[in-house]
Amino acid sequence: MEVLPKPARCGHVFAEAGCVRKVWVFFINGWNEPTVLSVALLRAALGLRFVIWTDTPNPGQRSVVKRYARSGLLRLLFAKAARVMVTGDLGAALLRDAGCPQEKIVNFPYWVPLPPASLAGCSLDGKRPVGPVRFVAIGRLERIKRFDVAIAALREVIAETGAASARLSIVGEGSERTRLEKQARDAGLADCIDFLGWQEHASTMLVLQKSDALVHPAAWEPYGVAVLEAMAYGKPVIASDMTMAACDRWTKAYSLQIYCRRSFVIHNVLSYLAGRASECSGVCGVLCRVVLHAFEF
């Protein structure tokens, strides 16, 4: 498997694959959408070169019919593709299990812009301002992202530590927004949760910069750019163990994260942070205390 530590190597991979003609490379982004799958199958049938990119194939349970149909289609695409790009070791292992030849797999990492050193959380000195711990959740407001878990956890935290202990900002838009807003109102959290809607990237990073921790409780997250962006700003990440960026050995080697599936564990972490807001020295203090507390679970 080819690992690309630097963007400069990308051209080499595609040149070796024989699919670079000047600047033209035909990328196919995954295979989950019917239109995308149709284009991929058409190019495969016509013998036209293409490169597939996916972050992490979903290993979820499927019916027998769907499992065999998916397996047959993927083996056909893998046979015709010049390369199959994937992000992370787990994704590469899942590709091999799905029948992708080892020599075609390219472990292609995500890159996110690094903030100026003055904005990165790890460079902060002095005491954190007294006030509520500021959690942020970033992503599409869809059921699979499980923002309802973060809201339920915050409700328990507020019940234990008081309304002034924590706030949650949710950045994103989607079909679940109305339901999540109702959940927040019904839980008495209307004044503790800010639904910020869709934001430009710069605005999203400003919200992240002003936050103390990222909450990412997705039921399935093929990777999770927000996790990497939080790492870049030196923020602790409280993520489900179905968030692939939180499980990837490349990110685990350079970050301190907590990944858990059950809402009560996320609640415990949030509660611990909220109860010690005034004690934490900078974001690094928050990060270290969260990680130490995680070992008590």
- Residue range 84-116, pLDDT digits in tens: 999 888 888 889 999 999 999 998 877 777 776
Q: Is residue 128 domain-shared with residue 270, that is, in the same domain? A: yes
Residue 199 sits at φ, ψ, to 5 deg, of -130, 150
* Phi, psi for 21 (deg, rounded to 5): -125, 100
Residue 115, in any domain of the structure: no
Encode pLDDT of 123-155 as tens digits.
334 445 557 888 899 999 999 899 998 898 888
Q: Is residue 112 part of a domain?
A: no
Nearest to 10 by CA among 150, 106, 133: 106
pLDDT band at 10 (very low <50, low <70, confident <90, very high): very low
Together in a domain, 290 and 150: yes
Structural domain count of the chain: 2
pLDDT(184) > 70:
yes
Q: Are residues 70 and 10 in the same domain?
A: yes
Do 89 and 20 share a domain, yes or no? yes
Q: Which of 49, 84, 107 is the last residue of a domain?
A: 107
* Residue 81 sits in the same domain as residue 126: no
Cα gap 161→156, rounded to integer Å: 9
Which residues fall within 8 angstroms of residue 26, CB to CB, at 6 or more apart? 19, 43, 48, 49, 50, 51
pLDDT recorded at residue 266: 60
Residue 211 lies in a domain: yes
Domain that includes residue 68, residue range? 2-107
Both 89 and 161 in a single domain? Answer: no
**pLDDT, average across residues 25-47:** 86
Per the model's pLDDT, the better-predicted residue between 269 and 81 turns out to be 81
Share of the chain above pLDDT 90, in %: 26
What is the value of pTM for the model shown? 0.73
76, 107, 138: which is the final residue of a domain?
Answer: 107
**Whether residues 91 and 145 fall in one domain:** no
Residue 94 sits in the same domain as residue 129: no
82 and 135 inside one domain? no
Banded pLDDT at 277 (limits 50, 70, 90): low
Boundary of a domain, candidates 78, 107, 136: 107
